[in-house]
Amino acid sequence: MDTFFNPKSVVVFGTSDSDRNLGKGVLSNLALFKWKGNRWGIGRKRCEVYGAPVFTSLDELPEIPDLAIILTPAPTAPEIFEACGRKGIRRIIIESAGFGEWSQETADIEARLLECAKKYDIRFIGPNCMGTVNLPEGLVLNFGDRENFAEPGGVSVIAQSGGVFTWFASLISDEGRGINKGVSMGNKLNVDEVDLLNYLGGDPTTNTIVMYLEDIRDGKKFMEAAQACSKPIITMKSNIFPETGRVAAGHTAAMASNNRVVDAAFKQCGVCRAGSAPELVNIIKAFALPPMRGDNLAVIARSGGHAVVAADRAIYRDFRLAQFSGKTMDKIEKIWPTTRIIRQNPLDVGDVFNVDLYDQILEAVLVDPNVDGVVFIHAYPAYVEVKRSRDLLKRFIEVSKKSPKPIALSFVQRSRLIRDLKDEFRHPIFFHPEDAIDALAAQRDWYKNRTVK
């Protein structure tokens, strides 16, 4: 699998200098992201595209490429496969559409591809996909303009849909996590989610794996791969109703899976299932925090109402509201002795009007041996305490860096102000208290599952 993400040379079939040419788009992205490998195109006429020479046949290339990209009409793919096989190219990505997702007649082309792949020991991704990405290395094999679509990081994405991959990459980058590797599998005729999961599970630069699946072809192999993976796997599984199955079949030739069976299988093999893209991103953020090693959660809130909402959600997610020790409460009362703080969890600090003391209160709660993790809900007046809240977040981050316990921060404020904080600090911030608690619960369950095994 490594050649799909770390080739030293790439050739793109179906390239021309036309503005709308998709092969030209792939070579454009490789130039835009400053990929350092050798790149060529093959088309009907010789030309040059973004510094890459375009030839009319494989025989004209100065060397045998590691990886071939096919962006020609579906009926031409078997002939190109045969030429690649004879030339010694063993890794191919078919980005063209018009195969089994269209009709049975075009599905026959897939049978010819599989026969040729077996003949020459070729592994291929697709068809009907948008290729692979290795963002830190500048490898972006998508045919669309991908400038600024994501930031480099440690999260790798396996998606059946190219559009969903781009969507996830954008959402993850917006939260300061960043993309390491990514792949759009399309019809996954040869390489599938199991192959890619096994590869990314052993990839030293990937710390978290995200998946978007419309179907799972071999549930047993998938579960074995997931159980063998030591990294968090966060998966959004769609195509769960008969009505959506017809749509998915025309999209990636996917077959629906029984939703209850998928749920049970994911729980058994330790996959975190996300029901939506926002939930998926929140779980990713939770895994950027230290592990939640137990069920004892502390809730600190500036508003009594938020404290109640958070307490309800915590109990719903099978957390226990940690019992603070007398020593912890004595510390807190010494920090702000002029008010009466009720000795309970959730801890309502609404009467502590000095925001500059909140990080001290947080530290006092964190060292309590009865506490496994903390949710801190900071609600503040719009545009009134912006600078103080910014400085508070800065101190919270310093506390978080030193703590072996997770601190999930929920800043309740206008979305544009939260976005400014996220852009500046690139630290996990949850917009809603419930999101913070749900994400911590998913993280806790994953670590608990691993400990039990």
Average pLDDT over residues 284-305: 95
Residues 6+ apart with CB under 8 A from 83: 58
* The pLDDT value given to residue 170: 94
**How many structural domains does the chain have?**
3
Residues 321 and 267 in one domain: no
Q: Is the pLDDT of residue 240 over 80?
A: no
CATH number of residue 56's parent domain: 3.40.50.720
Q: Which of 14-18, 142-146, 258-262, 329-333 has the lowest mean pLDDT?
A: 258-262
* The pLDDT value given to residue 338: 63
* The pLDDT value given to residue 242: 62
- Enclosing H/E stretch for 363: helix 358-366
* The pLDDT value given to residue 336: 80
Residues pairing with 158 in the sheet: 183, 211
Domain membership of residue 448 as a residue range: 289-452
Q: Is the pLDDT of residue 248 over 90?
A: no
Q: Is residue 345 part of a domain?
A: yes
CB 182 within 8 A of CB 154: no
Residues 310 and 281 in one domain: no
Q: Is residue 320 part of a domain?
A: yes
Residues 326 and 248 in one domain: no
Greater confidence, 314 or 421? 314
Last residue of a domain, one of 92, 125, 158: 125
Q: In the chain, how many H helices and how many E strands?
A: 16, 19
- Please give the span between the terminal C-alpha atoms of the chain, in angstroms, as a whole number: 28
Residues 215 and 318 in one domain: no
**How would you classify the pairing of strands 139-140 and 131-134?**
antiparallel
Q: Is the pLDDT of residue 313 over 90?
A: yes
- Between CA 135 and CA 206 the distance in angstroms is 12
Greater confidence, 204 or 417? 204
- Cα torsion 155, 159, 162, 165 to 10°: value is -30
Choose among 162, 140, 179: nearest CA to 32.
Answer: 140
* The pLDDT value given to residue 251: 45
* The pLDDT value given to residue 414: 80
Residues 273 and 300 in one domain: no
Alpha carbon of 425 to those of 361, 428, 430, 436: distances in Å?
Answer: 22, 9, 13, 18
Q: Is residue 131 part of a domain?
A: no
Residues 6+ apart with CB under 8 A from 11: 39, 40, 41, 42, 58, 61, 65, 67, 68, 69, 89
Q: Is residue 363 part of a domain?
A: yes
Q: Is the pLDDT of residue 207 over 50?
A: yes
Q: Is the pLDDT of residue 333 over 90?
A: no
* The pLDDT value given to residue 162: 92
Last residue of a domain, one of 268, 288, 308: 288
Choose among 41, 50, 36, 48: nearest CA to 8.
Answer: 36
Average pLDDT over residues 290-312: 95
Q: What angle do CA 412, 417, 423 make, to 5 degrees?
A: 110
**Long-range contact pairs involving 43-46 (C-beta distance under 8 Å, separation at least 24):** 43/13, 43/14, 43/15, 43/16, 44/16, 45/16
Q: Is the pLDDT of residue 270 over 50?
A: yes
Q: Is residue 165 part of a domain?
A: yes
Tell me the helix, strand and coil percentages in the chain, rounded to 5.
45, 20, 35
pTM given for the model:
0.91
Q: Is residue 424 part of a domain?
A: yes
**How would you classify the pairing of strands 91-94 and 139-140?**
unpaired
Residues 401 and 321 in one domain: yes
Average pLDDT score, the chain: 91
Question: Which residue bears the tokens 């629906």?
Answer: 256
Question: Which residue bears the tokens 């009720």?
Answer: 342
CB 437 within 8 A of CB 282: no
Residues 169 and 255 in one domain: yes
Residues 219 and 298 in one domain: no
State percent of the chain over pLDDT 90. Answer: 74
Residues 303 and 276 in one domain: no
Q: What angle do CA 380, 439, 391 make, to 5 degrees?
A: 30
CATH number of residue 254's parent domain: 3.40.50.261
Choose among 128, 154, 153: nearest CA to 143.
Answer: 128
Q: Is residue 136 part of a domain?
A: no
Greater confidence, 252 or 411? 411
Choose among 267, 99, 131, 125: nearest CA to 188.
Answer: 125
Residues 310 and 425 in one domain: yes
Greater confidence, 330 or 192? 192
**How would residue 255 be classed by pLDDT, with cut points 50, 70 and 90?**
very low
Alpha carbon of residue 256 to chain centroid: 22
The amino acid at residue 54 is: V
* The pLDDT value given to residue 444: 97
Residues 310 and 443 in one domain: yes
Residues 155 and 118 in one domain: no
- Cα torsion 399, 205, 231, 321 to 10°: value is 10
Average pLDDT over residues 63-69: 98
Q: Is the pLDDT of residue 429 over 80?
A: yes
Last residue of a domain, one of 253, 288, 323: 288
Average pLDDT over residues 80-88: 97
Average pLDDT over residues 22-43: 97
pLDDT tens-place string over residues 96-152: 988 866 666 677 899 999 999 999 999 999 999 999 999 999 999 999 888 888 999
Q: Is residue 375 part of a domain?
A: yes
**How would residue 351 be classed by pLDDT, with cut points 50, 70 and 90?**
confident
Two structure tokens written together for 191:
């390489």
